[in-house]
Amino acid sequence: MSNNAARSDFLTSENALDSSTPLAQGLVLNAVFTETADAAADSSTAYTISPGDTFNGSTAGFDTDWIRLDVTAGNSYTIDLTGRGFTPNLDVILQVVDDAGNVLAYNDAIDFFGGNLDARITFTPAVSGSYYLVVDDFSNGSDQYSLKVSAPTPTPAPATMSDIADYLVSGFWQDQGIAPISFNASSGDTLTVNISGLAASAQQLAKWALDAWTAATGLKFSYTLSSGADLIIDDTYSGAFTTHSYSGNEITQAEVNVGYDWIQAFGTSLDSYTYQTLLHEIGHALGLGHAGNYNGNAQYGIDNIFVNDSWQATVMSYFSQVDNSYVSADFAYVLTPMIADVIAIQEIYGPASLRTGNTVYGENSTAGGIYDVISQQLASGTLAEPVALTIMDSAGNDTLDLASDTYDQQIDLTPGSHSSIYGLVGNLSIAYGTVIENVIAGSGNDSVTGNGAANDIWGGLGADTIRGGLNQDQLHGDDGADLLYGDA
């Protein structure tokens, strides 16, 4: 059966819980409890609430209410105590105590001088278990109050690049209720592409983006004017999105649209957001999803699954390096598939044996394709915007040439690492399985760390620190007060 479905930056529906149907565990989320009998003033209290719940109670005279709260160590809980009813601005006192009544936290006003007499405590227990929220009225009057405990929001765990790759390949589609799909192809095969619907300047961007995916997959792209091409890239509609026609799990045709309005707004240079958009959308065309369960828009800290979801990990992310507060990287447009993208696309189309000879990356590139384009534009000064890339290489005795860089470099040849070059932080990545043996550093005060290969590292000018890592390395400080460490 043939289907035609929007698969990228596309509209989805949300499944909602039927509030009339009890949860299997018999729990009610975000429940509201009301004090009927007076809450005890000690740990014998009959009232227990959970994170997310609200407790409505009252105090009279010297009455003090205790409400039990069960919490998990390491999570942070925000507890708000406010007046309600006829006395919404009562002066309340809130405490967190243990079962013996030892006070662990106390607050009697969020902003006394500003007139906000409500109380708030953020509590992070060191030990899981039962604690007690103690409510009192500063005036010892008869007042009504509302006590609410926020449900904790755990910090997403840092993901491995393989975790993110798995989500790109299957997790995203499963979260959308769609089975993963891909072309019936493998590394070395050729897909046909029709880019005739783009203006000439945008056609060049599309060719560069396709070259970048070739450099990661080994898939080849043959250009045609046929409407039956495997992949059609045009600018017919406003915005940027990808659709697929597919049968079962096999893509029969993919269409990438990057609108003329988008191209006019974001430019036609290699270091433009238009180029990165094409790189992203072609990733969708080949079967990759987003790095989180978002589509169309997203906010970091709310919509991300992985704390390190950013362009530094994958071009399929919605978050730039600076949108993400966890990663250490400067803003940069992405010129190649990144580390998680390389893993993901090779999960789909198989491992690629690419650039197996002695290859130079960076300046004076001999890698071909997009790497040569980047090298040429570096040399000519054409790249005006900050850029980031990932090097993927299969074999040979390879060299990273950054000789003209005058900034202080932080270079790490370890597979899976991020380096800082040309004045930016975290903008050069080394794919897993990629071994670069040699480095020619620039004229700044550089730090270079080798890998497990027999490295030949040249520090260049400046006061450099060079660490060889494992194996028998050759370290050259050149001019400057250099520190050389052979390591193991």
Residue range(s) of every CATH 2.60.120.380 domain in the chain: 32-154
| SS3 (DSSP) at 475 | strand
Distances from the Cα of 104 to the Cα of 62, 124, 151, angstroms: 21, 10, 19
Between 111-125, 425-439, 444-458, the lowest mean confidence (pLDDT) is in 111-125
pLDDT of residue 91: 67
Give me the mean pLDDT over the 55-68 stretch.
88
pLDDT of residue 88: 54
With 90 as the cut, is the pLDDT of residue 150 above it?
Answer: no
With 70 as the cut, is the pLDDT of residue 269 above it?
Answer: yes
Smallest CA-to-CA distance from 310 within 294, 282, 288, 291 is with 291
| SS3 (DSSP) at 122 | strand
Q: What predicted TM-score, i.e. pTM, was given to this entire model? A: 0.73
pLDDT of residue 241: 97
The CATH number fitting domain 32-154, selected from 3.40.50.300, 2.60.120.380, 3.30.930.10, 3.40.50.2300: 2.60.120.380
Give me the mean pLDDT over the 273-292 stretch.
98
With 50 as the cut, is the pLDDT of residue 6 above it?
Answer: no
CB-count exposure of residue 354 (10 Å: 0-12, 13-18, 19+): buried
Residue range(s) of every CATH 2.150.10.10 domain in the chain: 353-485
With 90 as the cut, is the pLDDT of residue 14 above it?
Answer: no
pLDDT of residue 90: 64
CB-count exposure of residue 105 (10 Å: 0-12, 13-18, 19+): middle
Give me the mean pLDDT over the 117-146 stretch.
84
pLDDT of residue 450: 96
Query: From CA 244, how far away is CA 283, in angstroms rounded?
Result: 12
Give me the mean pLDDT over the 281-308 stretch.
93
> 58: pLDDT confidence band, cut at 50, 70 and 90?
confident
With 90 as the cut, is the pLDDT of residue 478 above it?
Answer: no
Instruction: Count CA atoms closer than 13 A to 470's CA, side-chain side.
Output: 5
- Torsion sign, CA atoms 432, 436, 437, 443: negative
Q: Which two tokens stand for residue 35?
A: 């004090």
- Reply yes or no on domain 353-485 having CATH 2.40.40.20: no
pLDDT of residue 16: 24
Instruction: Label the pairing between strands 119-123 and 32-34.
Output: unpaired
> 469: pLDDT confidence band, cut at 50, 70 and 90?
confident
With 60 as the cut, is the pLDDT of residue 286 above it?
Answer: yes
> 1: pLDDT confidence band, cut at 50, 70 and 90?
very low
Query: What whole-number percentage of the chain has pLDDT above 70?
Result: 89
Each residue's pLDDT tens digit, 376-397: 999 999 999 999 999 999 999 9
Instruction: Give yes or no: 281 in active site.
Output: yes
pLDDT of residue 440: 98
pLDDT of residue 320: 98
Between 146-150, 167-171, 433-437, the lowest mean confidence (pLDDT) is in 146-150
CB-count exposure of residue 265 (10 Å: 0-12, 13-18, 19+): exposed
CB 123 within 8 Å of CB 76: yes
Give the DSSP H/E element, type plus range, for residue 372: helix 369-380
What's the mean pLDDT when you consider all of the chain?
89
Catalytic residue among 14, 35, 250, 281: 281
> 9: pLDDT confidence band, cut at 50, 70 and 90?
low
Give me the mean pLDDT over the 305-322 stretch.
97
With 70 as the cut, is the pLDDT of residue 406 above it?
Answer: yes
Query: What whole-number percentage of the chain has pLDDT above 90?
Result: 72
With 80 as the cut, is the pLDDT of residue 18 above it?
Answer: no
pLDDT of residue 139: 64
pLDDT of residue 87: 53
Q: What is the DSSP string of 161-210?
A: HHHHHHIIIIIHHHHTT----B-S--TT-EEEEEEEES-HHHHHHHHHHH
| SS3 (DSSP) at 339 | helix
Each residue's pLDDT tens digit, 168-224: 999 999 999 989 999 999 999 999 999 999 999 999 999 999 999 999 999 999 999
